[in-house]
Amino acid sequence: MKTIIKYNTKNYTIDLSQPLDISIPITGRSTNVNAWYLDPPTIEPHTEGEFIGKVTEGASTNFNDISFNPHAHGTHTECIGHITEEFYSVNKSLSKFFFMTEVITIAPERIKGDFVISKKQLQYALGNKNREAVVIRTIPNLRDKMTRQYANTNPPYLLESAAQLLVDKGVEHLLIDLPSVDKEKDDGALLAHKTFWNYDGKRRMQATITEFVFVANSIKDGKYFLNLQLASFENDASPSRPVLYLIEE
What CATH number is attached to the domain comprising 208?
3.50.30.50
Contact status, residue 224 vs residue 103, Cβ threshold 8 Å:
yes
Domain that holds residue 83: 2-25+70-248
Distance CA 198, CA 160 (A): 11
- Is residue 249's pLDDT more than 80? no
86 inside domain: yes
Please, which pLDDT band fits residue 106 given cuts at 50, 70 and 90?
A: very high
Mean pLDDT computed over 222-244: 97
Query: Is it the case that residue 164 has pLDDT exceeding 90?
Result: yes
Q: Is residue 63 part of a domain?
A: no
pTM over 0.95: yes
Q: How many structural domains is the chain composed of? A: 1
Distance in angstroms (rounded) separating the CA atoms of residues 164 and 74: 26
* Other residues' Cβ atoms within 10 Å of the Cβ of residue 26: 21
Give the containing element (helix H, strand E) for 239. Answer: strand 237-248
Tell whether 47 is covered by a domain: no
pLDDT of residue 2: 86
Determine the Cα–Cα distance for residues 42 and 177; give it in Å rounded to an integer. Answer: 23
- The arithmetic mean of pLDDT across residues 162-189, rounded, is 98
Reply yes or no on whether the pLDDT at 207 is more than 80.
yes
Domain assignment present for 97: yes
Which pLDDT belongs to residue 190? 98
- For residue 52, is it within any domain? no
Mean pLDDT for the chain overall: 97
pLDDT at 10: 87
Please tell me the predicted confidence (pLDDT) of residue 218.
Answer: 98
CA 89 to chain centre: 16
Does residue 49 form part of some domain? no
Q: Residue range 182-208: average pLDDT? A: 98
Q: Is the peptide bond before 41 cis (omega within 30 degrees of 0)?
A: no
